Amino acid sequence: MMMFMHMRKNLVYFSNNNYLSICKSDVSFSLLFLQFFSACREKHPVTALTLSELLLHKHHFCPEAASQVVSALTRLKSPEKYDSILSFLKESGFSNTQLEKILKCRPRLLLANPEKVIKPKIKIFQDLGFSANDIADIITNDPDIMYRSLTNRVIPSLSVLNVLLGSSVEMAKVLKISGCFLKYDIGKTMAPNVEYLKRCGIPVEHISWLIYNFPRSLCCKPENMVRFVDKIDEMGISRSSKMFIHAIRVLGSMTNETWEQKLKAFEDLGFSKDDIAAAFRKAPQVFITSEGKMKKLKDVLVATGKYDVLCIINYPTSLMCSVEKRYKPRIEVVGVLESKRLIEDWPSYLDLFKMTDEKFFKKYVGPYLNEVGDLWSSFGCKR
């Protein structure tokens, strides 16, 4: 306190007198200020600077990641706390790159209580037989795991997965793909949905494929799953066909209202109800195509005068190809060939959308490379 009063006296003096005379007559002012600053820093050592130094020099964060973490933390704690959390995570198998990724996304993890929030989550994975690398990968992909309730979400969900998949190795595979398993109450969604699909006669290997590749499709409400199965049955897809599982994925990705809008979009394109059902049986994933893309493809094809909407109806999977990267470059190149009278007939629609770039090049471009080589290359297409 005496130090502060003495400094204040000097500051008042400084404000009422010439700066140069002060520096000459009282050089101890700067030393006094530095002593005061050092005392404050010793008493309150946590600053953005000390956290930045810790991240950069001890834990070897890149400058960008360190800066992002520091700027996001407005409530600072002791460097020892940060150091203990980072050191524990490293000892648990996390790499520097993984820690940077986690803290850039969730910097407030450094403020968490390690005994209540962090260590119990790591331990439950360890107790179930997960490897250190698997634990680090899973949490890096979904840092929010650290904030979910251990008793109400993490443990129950892991228990359900253990019953469904049978081992920590298989559990790790799906958790690396998606964190949704620990986000939703899969005991009330996935477990009953899987059991229902089994009762419906869906092959177990098809259900497993859905778990590993599109797990969110199984995290819907059980009443929605019943509705999906009924709708797919109406469309005429066999339950033993793998298309049945693809259909569940498609229906699970949209609301009932969106589905109705999608059906209308197909009707507007020129599909009859029978055409729509046939397309759904053949390739349910086609129904993920946006209305905008459907209209754009129709316009591009019709503008050629060589193709029409019937081409799309006969080959609905053609809707899955890129208009910009597949149709437009090929149509433009073939148009040039026709204008130069190098070809008499355009490619069939099947060739237009289904051929790989290499095959299309060999059949339609290679023989006339001098005429269209530069144009073909400008599209980024391979020979």
Residues 64-84: tens digit of each pLDDT? 998 898 888 876 677 788 899
Mean pLDDT of 52-60: 88
Residue 273 has pLDDT above 70, yes or no: yes
Q: Give pLDDT, residue 12.
A: 38
pLDDT: which is higher, 78 or 250 = 250
Q: Are residues 31 and 19 in the same domain?
A: yes
Q: Give pLDDT, residue 379.
A: 53
Q: Are residues 380 and 334 in the same domain?
A: yes
Count: domains in the chain: 6
Q: Give pLDDT, residue 179.
A: 79
Mean pLDDT of 286-310: 95
Q: Are residues 240 and 193 in the same domain?
A: yes
What's the pTM value of the predicted model, to 2 decimals?
0.72
Q: Are residues 59 and 71 in the same domain?
A: yes
Q: Give pLDDT, residue 375.
A: 66
Predicted confidence (pLDDT) per residue in 184-230, tens digit: 889 999 999 999 999 999 999 999 999 999 988 999 999 999 999 99
List the domain range (segments joined by +) for residue 297: 254-315
Q: Are residues 122 and 172 in the same domain?
A: yes
Domain stop point among 315, 337, 365:
315
Mean pLDDT of 293-305: 95
Q: Are residues 146 and 123 in the same domain?
A: yes
Asked if the structure places residue 288 within a domain, the reply is yes
Domain stop point among 108, 123, 142:
108
Asked if the structure places residue 183 within a domain, the reply is no
Domain stop point among 177, 205, 228:
177
The full DSSP string for 89-113 is HHHTT--HHHHHHHHHH-GGGGGS-
4-17 burial string, b = 16+ CB within 10 Å, else e?
Answer: eeeeeebeeeeeee
Chain mean pLDDT for the chain: 84
The full DSSP string for 320-368 is GS-IIIIIHHHHHHHHHHHHTTS-SSPPPHHHHHHS-HHHHIIIIIGGG
Asked if the structure places residue 24 within a domain, the reply is yes
Asked if the structure places residue 53 within a domain, the reply is yes
- Work out the pLDDT band at 100, boundaries 50, 70, 90: very high
> How many whole angstroms separate alpha carbon 73 and alpha carbon 111?
9
Q: Give pLDDT, residue 13.
A: 36
Q: Are residues 157 and 172 in the same domain?
A: yes
Asked if the structure places residue 182 within a domain, the reply is no
- Here the tokens at position 339 are 């204008």
